[in-house]
Structure 1
Amino acid sequence: MSKQAKGFSLADTEEMQAFNLDATPQPDAKAEIEKLADEEQVIHLDIDDIDLVKIQSEVKKIDKASAKGKAKYGAAYKDLHKAFSFGHHVPIREKQTFYELTSVMIEAGIPILKTIKVYADQTTHKYFQKVCRAISWQIENGEKFSDALAEYPKIFDEAERGTIAAAEATGRLVEAFRRLAIEVQKSSLLRSKVRGALIYPVTVMAFVVVTVFILMRYVVPQISQLFLQANLELPAITRAVVGTSEFFVQYGVLVLVGIVAVIITNYLLYRVENIRYYYHLIELKIPIFNTFLKDYTQAAFARSLANLISSGVGIVQSLEITAKSVNNLVYRRKIELLAKDVTNGISMGDSLANSPYFSNMLVHMITVGEQTAQIDNIALKLANYYTEKVYDTADNFAKLLQPLIIGVVGGIVGVIVLAIMLPMSDILGSIESL
């Protein structure tokens, strides 16, 4: 039996529409046709020897300008989208949800392209929605999922892309997405702990600087006028504070400009990689903070390594990807050297033993992992261990710095108060004698 679907035109429609036609044959054949039609396009379906028992048509409205941009301008659409992505931020929670739902849908048998489109439709984060749609367009045009993610390195880091690329090659996407959802959450908690530990001392010191500036610029000059009118012989500490105050009155604006200039200069210098290396080297030599930073970086190193190796990435490639995902340049260059040493046949344990920035325990455990072919499991245990250390240090960081901060703040405020109170006591004594 033969049937022919008549031709039809979409020339009069105002919006592009996607048609999914499911033809269930009689008795055994089945034809599924998906066509994307735009204005002035005619679709003709010729289906021979098929009894069309059921035809389902699902029409989905697509933004006309966006769809035409994708279809007609190709890479230009992607480049234009990236050009307007500056300053956008995707929350960690959004990424975690993306990985979790993607793993569920892929496990349910939904293709990766359809999965990305479904997530783009359901997410409420406007920028990430655009990113997902751009990624789905790239996949439709033949790019691998991991290659499409590479267009957004500020959203999907090197380790995440490496994990997904390995999972694509081995067919273990579900497992990879589940692992990434967990690791993204753990990394976020770790960074939050570090930020929380640093906020307290930074906030206190900023408060002290602002308070001292206000006292010296506006309060002390008013009091010093009283001292001058009383013709008092000022103590040395008072003369020093008054002299400092006069400096702030005359050059206060220049001081602020100088502070801003120093901040901007340091920011620009920090952007130069070779100079930033020395900033990171100095950070690793600051007491208390250096232990904190080393534990944090070793946790990130071990977790990235464990995740990549578990996903099927080779050790050398895992090290190369991990190096790019580590922020501290001192550690990054050491890990890059480690990858070269492993390529040349040197064991990871022997290479790491020459570095003062990796703990003896980490070196020993990595050596055991190499000998037992359990590097991924050992690295995961190390990551959990150093993560807990960072949590403990972060919780105690404020307590460790509190005595130092109180001493500095108390010393500065105490000097100013003492400088003011000594002459004031002389003035009160003179008044009483009268």
Structure 2
Amino acid sequence: LLDAGLPLIRSLKTLARQATNPVVRKTLEETATSVEGGSTFSEALAQHPKSFDKLYLNMIRAGEAAGKLELILNRLASFREKAAKIQGKVKSAMVYPTIIITIAILIVSGLMIFIVPKFKKTFTELLEGEPLPGLTQFVMGISEFMINNWYILVPGIIGAVIIFKIILKVPFLRFYIDWVKYNMPLIGPIVSKTAISKFSRTLGTLMGSGVPILSALNIVKETSGNEVVSQAISKVYEAVKEGEGMAGPLQATKIFPEMVISMIEVGEETGKLPEMLDKIADTYDEEVDNAVAALTSMIEPIMMVGLAVVIGGIVIALFMPMIKIIEKLGG
């Protein structure tokens, strides 16, 4: 709208009328009113911290100072679009395994709670106290435990989820959880590549918009979404504050690959660091795509085999005593 020549206030009011979400509509209306009352655009947005984070505010502040608000808004839109695209691909890759695991848990729980007890009763009557095979006893033991302790299991699972969410809010504990995710087989490469892409894209967008490097690093640290990366950026921030370049401190953190370090070093030497960071982000966006595709194709057969082994094990455990019963009836 600004590119088309509409004034800022009119653009905000137009967007407010078009908004279908009542919260978004109210935010835009209040922002337009604040700008109408004499506030700058960044000051008006700062009144809504839940909707507009420090990344938004600092970029728009820099755009206002340079007289390039339209350019900055376009960069912000491009940044959010690319970030959402990567985030969406990672989430969609995890949806299918989550559905399969949920279905598997429901199927196995159904077998254990409703089917296995019926077989247990039949085996007890027909085998007249003869010992059951070890696998059968194991399966029936789990079944009995689930039936007798469901009132502990269900609250226990809910409690574990709540405790995990509380742990995620404690930086010290969250660091170790993020570290485990960063170094896990299969998932680790996706986590690290996504983190590097987000770091590069955010820092490159901020610096390219005129935000000073220290302010940009501080914002990247707060919006990284990964405590391992956040602590690494804190060390880089302190080093840059003392007058060092970025490449050396980044290398010292040992979480950024040599290719990233080399490209940042070249960017610093040529004075084209924002452009180089954007190239790193584009490269790692592609790598995330490839890693997600590889993980999806790998997880599917593994999960199917795992599900087949579990259900097959239950079926075999129930079938083994039936052989004894057939032999007994035949005799």
TM norm structure 1? 0.73
Partner residue in 2 for 1:131: 27
Q: Is 2:176 aligned against 1:176?
A: no
C-alpha distance in 1 between matches for 2:310 and 2:239: 52
* Deviations 1:247-281 (CA, angstroms, capped at 9, x unpaired): 11111221111111111111122222332222212
Report the secondary structure of 1:347's partner residue: coil
- Aligned-residue CA RMSD in angstroms? 1.6
Matched, 1:291 2:160: no
How many residue pairs were aligned?
329
Q: What is the deviation of 1:126?
A: 2.5
Deviation of 1:408 (Å): 2.4
Q: After superposition, where does 1:9-158 map in structure 2 within 5 Å?
A: 101=1, 103-105=2-4, 108=5, 110-158=6-54
Structure-1 separation of matches of 2:86 and 2:220? 17
Work out which structure has the larger RCO, using CA pairs closer than 8 Å and 6 or more positions apart in sequence.
Answer: 2
| Aligned partner letter, 2:219 | I
Amino acid at match of 2:27: V
The correspondence for 1:354, drawn from 248, 252, 267, is: 252
Q: CA offset at residue 298 of structure 1?
A: 0.6
Counterparts of 1:194-205 in structure 2, within 5 Å, are: 194-205=90-101
Number of the residue aligned with 1:404: 302
By how many angstroms is 1:175 displaced? Answer: 0.7
**Change beyond 3 A, Cα 1:342–1:189:** same
- Note if 1:301 corresponds to 2:199: yes
**How much does 1:141 deviate?**
3.3
Task: Look up the equivalent residue of 1:104 and give its one-letter code.
Answer: D
Matched, 1:418 2:304: no
Q: How far 1:307 sits from its partner (Å)?
A: 0.9
The sequence identity of aligned pairs, in percent, is 28
Report Cα offsets for 1:166-216 as digits up to 9, x if no partner: 101111111111112222211111111000111122222222222222211
Give 1:143 shift.
2.8
Q: Distance in 1 between matches of 2:17 and 2:101?
A: 46
Q: Is residue 2:214 matched to residue 1:316?
A: yes
Give the corresponding residue for 2:137: 239
Matched-pair contact (CA < 8 Å) for 1:158–1:322: no
| Structure with greater strand share of residues | 1
AA aligned to 1:178 is N
Unaligned runs of 5+ in 2: none
Matched, 1:189 2:85: yes
Q: Deviations over 1:128-181 (max 9, x none)?
A: 111101111222333322232233344333322221111011111111111122
For 2:169 and 2:239, how far apart are their aligned partners in 1? Answer: 29
Give the one of 245, 263, 266 matched to 2:161. 263
Larger CA Rg, structure 1 vs 2: 1
* Normalised TM-score (structure 2): 0.94
Structure 1 stretch displaced more, 155-164 or 294-303: 155-164
Q: Who is 1:249 aligned against?
A: 147
TM-superposed CA distance for 1:428, in Å, is 2.6
Aligned partner of 1:281 among 173, 179, 191: 179
Change in 2 beyond 3 A, CA 1:141/1:373: same
Tell me which residue corresponds to 1:24. none
The one-letter amino acid paired with 1:137 is T
For 2:39 and 2:17, locate their aligned partners in 1 and report how far apart those are by CA, in whole Å.
Answer: 21
2:288 pairs with 1:390? yes
Q: 5+ unaligned residues in a row in structure 1: which ranges?
A: 1-100
Q: Which amino acid aligns with 1:128?
A: V
Give the 3 Å change call, closer, same or farther, for CA 366–275 of structure 1 in structure 2: same
CA distance in 2, matches of 1:373, 1:240: 67
Q: Which residue of 1 aligns with 2:60?
A: 164
1:151/1:213 CA distance change after superposition, 3 Å: farther
Structure 2 Cα separation of the partners of residues 255 and 237 of structure 1: 23
1:346 deviates by: 1.4
Instruction: Summarize deviations over 1:225-262 as a string: whole Å, max 9, x none.
Output: 00000124310110111111111111122111111111
Cα distance, 1:254–1:146 mapped onto 2, change above 3 Å: same
